[in-house]
Chains A and B, each alone.
Chain A
């Protein structure tokens, strides 16, 4: 069985970077979501300015072996604009919170993008031919003088430069009072759900003027509110099952066949708290920031502030595996609470075969854990260490004052403004996309491109 972690350590190479190193960047350029499509051919990123950039993988060329599989910009469009809610006197940010691709059913690609309030369905299509030889119009489109038309011709399609058109097909608005944190396309390819802090709505992809509320955890008295929804996802195969996570560290698996309103969960996944480890911050660090079904549908991957956990759907009492992402921060929680870092929401990702999980950390570090060999690696996504074709070097964080090897980073030297919140893994290959503030890094395992 391949050990991807080991190979990745020695052979991971940088494929492409954002062009032009900027000395500074605007806040609008900060990447807020990253998502591969179902084949991995396309990679979409959303940013705080409401823009979506789609990258396409170049087909591998035999003549130029070094250009294999690079991702280049395919299309850029403005998905959401800033809005103002006049009723509440609040601005609605245009930041793209999530992008989800629909499975491809024809030549066009469809994706859902959402900000805090509105979800939009976009159609991405290519145009590489255009009709020429109209009878009534000339090549520039001007109407011909009819008296000059002496014969009829049939317009023919002639090739043209490839043009990528992105058009909004649906706008799903006015269904969320609170901030949307997740969207998830159902395996029936007809419905999807959107989750905000207190409610989850079910939509049909073709119907924009209504949605069904399937979860509502808003208490009658807001003073009783102690828990919010943090993430939600449909099961990859069972269209009736979905899971949502909460700020108290619980996961709830719900079955839509049981009732129209799925407030009552089918399964509740919660790890009992260790009383000896209890502190003021126990609840905050237990808040689940991301939840992902495995590709098999058998497991759940969750991320809280300090750990990543793999749960077996058949075992609710405790996680199957717990991985320490940056346990050296446990003694720094007070400071991290003070500077708000403790509220950062890190995402997590499975590889295609569900054997490796990945998540981000601070100082532009990201971590990968091999579930089988139990080995893990810390890598850095930065310009200095990521020249194209370079091999990523494993990094190590040592405790302050501890034994320090060369190139180790001390906990106190970590840059907490450089955080990797958004990561994505190619569905089939060992290619990962890492969003580091305003930069996108794509790394590939060259030796072992195929997943094992």
Chain B
């Protein structure tokens, strides 16, 4: 069967049947795969001439489903060790709880946009990496083994919920005729990084944030990376050049990894999901750090 797949994206498994056993690796990897595909689809749909609302709604509903399933699976609820002083932990917890109660998280658009974390997915095309399987996590680990990704799952629920909310809020702004349409960001892809990538370091280098704003660097930031070679040959620098952070406070807690020092950890590819951003949506009163002036707004919120 001819399948139009993004170039270079290999599937881990030939998924022909949906397993209903939540603990089966097949089901989990399929879920992971669906998450990746759904987010990619949304990204591409934003680049089309006119997004089809039906398609976007169906994809958003699928994402909600995945989010709900993830939150319902018992193995997902692993301990989240967070430093006590994280301001947004309560917000995250409430969002995660809301996601579990209700398939549609009706977060206020401003908070959704402001707190929309980078949703990055770990997608490891190499079958050898499949074996790096944390027993506490549904997700594959593609970095050093000493990283604990267990906490990522809970954060992903809330991140997905917020992403879904921002998707639909952005649909409203683009389609419903707001005076200024949401500038659609053609998501610049990342080149496959052969070297471990220090996500937060790169961001610092481009002045996207003041080092002083970086709060949560350790332990709470959970970020998976997606190796998606189909995305092309842009570098991380190119990606961030497009980001206009003049209206969004970039909280590097999202990017930070668990680390004993400095919050800079090795990582593989960084995949940032940047939903369209409506400059007219109200924002939570986070401090704005204007940096790059010419780039598109980015949605990088804090995830505690």
Interface residues of A (CB under 8 A from B): 87-93, 116, 177-179, 197-198, 221-228, 230, 247, 279-281, 283-284, 287, 331-335, 337-340, 343, 411-417
Quick one: given A93-B49, A179-B53, are A343 and B18 in contact (CB under 8 Å)?
Answer: no
Chain A residue nearest in CB terms to B62: A280
CB distance from B100 to the nearest CB of A (A): 17
- Complex-state Cα separation, A337 to B37, whole angstroms: 8
Complex interface: chain A residues within 8 A of B176 (CB): 177, 222
Q: When the two chains form their complex, are residues B54 and A226 in contact, meaning their CB atoms are under 8 A apart?
A: no
Complex interface: chain A residues within 8 A of B5 (CB): 338-339
Interface status of B87 (Cβ within 8 A of chain A): no
Interface status of B107 (Cβ within 8 A of chain A): yes
Q: When the two chains form their complex, are residues A339 and B4 in contact, meaning their CB atoms are under 8 A apart?
A: yes
- Complex-state Cα separation, A287 to B53, whole angstroms: 13
Complex interface: chain A residues within 8 A of B79 (CB): none
Complex interface: chain A residues within 8 A of B172 (CB): 222-223
Complex interface: chain A residues within 8 A of B164 (CB): 223
- Complex-state Cα separation, A225 to B50, whole angstroms: 18
CB distance from A71 to the nearest CB of B (A): 32
Interface status of B177 (Cβ within 8 A of chain A): yes
Q: A-side binding surface: helix, strand, loop or mixed?
A: loop
Quick one: given A223-B106, A280-B18, are A332 and B50 in contact (CB under 8 Å)?
Answer: no
Q: When the two chains form their complex, are residues B1 and A247 in contact, meaning their CB atoms are under 8 A apart?
A: no
Complex interface: chain B residues within 8 A of A411 (CB): 1
Quick one: given A89-B181, A179-B53, are A334 and B34 in contact (CB under 8 Å)?
Answer: yes
| Interface mask (B51-69 → A, CB under 8 Å = 1, otherwise 0) | 0111101101110111000
| Interface mask (B165-181 → A, CB under 8 Å = 1, otherwise 0) | 10011011011110101
- Complex-state Cα separation, A87 to B180, whole angstroms: 7
Q: When the two chains form their complex, are residues A223 and B55 in contact, meaning their CB atoms are under 8 A apart?
A: no
| Interface mask (B1-30 → A, CB under 8 Å = 1, otherwise 0) | 111110000000001111000000000001
Q: When the two chains form their complex, are residues B58 and A284 in contact, meaning their CB atoms are under 8 A apart?
A: yes
Additional A-B contacts beyond A247-B58, A338-B3 (18; CB < 8 A): A90-B49, A90-B174, A177-B175, A178-B53, A222-B168, A223-B107, A223-B168, A224-B106, A226-B60, A226-B104, A279-B18, A280-B62, A334-B30, A334-B33, A337-B37, A339-B5, A340-B41, A343-B55
Chain B stretch 112-136: residues in CB contact (< 8 A) with chain A: 112
Q: When the two chains form their complex, are residues B2 and A415 in contact, meaning their CB atoms are under 8 A apart?
A: yes
Interface status of B151 (Cβ within 8 A of chain A): no
- Complex-state Cα separation, A248 to B2, whole angstroms: 28
Interface residues of B (CB under 8 A from A): 1-5, 15-18, 30-31, 33-34, 37, 41, 49-50, 52-55, 57-58, 60-62, 64-66, 103-107, 109, 112, 164-165, 168-169, 171-172, 174-177, 179, 181
CB distance from B72 to the nearest CB of A (A): 13
Q: When the two chains form their complex, are residues A90 and B50 in contact, meaning their CB atoms are under 8 A apart?
A: yes
Quick one: given A412-B1, A414-B1, A415-B2, are A223 and B104 in contact (CB under 8 Å)?
Answer: yes
Selected A-B contacts with CB under 8 Å, 29 pairs: A87-B177, A87-B179, A89-B181, A91-B49, A221-B109, A222-B168, A222-B169, A222-B176, A223-B104, A223-B105, A223-B168, A224-B168, A225-B57, A226-B61, A226-B103, A228-B57, A247-B54, A279-B18, A280-B34, A332-B1, A334-B34, A335-B1, A335-B3, A337-B37, A338-B3, A338-B4, A338-B37, A343-B54, A413-B1
CB distance from B296 to the nearest CB of A (A): 14
Q: When the two chains form their complex, are residues A331 and B16 in contact, meaning their CB atoms are under 8 A apart?
A: yes
Quick one: given A223-B104, A280-B62, are A88 and B181 in contact (CB under 8 Å)?
Answer: yes
Complex interface: chain B residues within 8 A of A178 (CB): 53, 175
- Complex-state Cα separation, A91 to B177, whole angstroms: 13
Complex interface: chain A residues within 8 A of B66 (CB): 280
- Complex-state Cα separation, A130 to B49, whole angstroms: 47
- Complex-state Cα separation, A411 to B4, whole angstroms: 16
Complex interface: chain A residues within 8 A of B104 (CB): 223-224, 226
Q: Which of A281, A412, A415 has the most CB of B within 10 A?
A: A281
Contact of B58 among A283, A334, A335 (CB under 8 A): A283
Complex interface: chain A residues within 8 A of B181 (CB): 87-90
Complex interface: chain B residues within 8 A of A89 (CB): 181
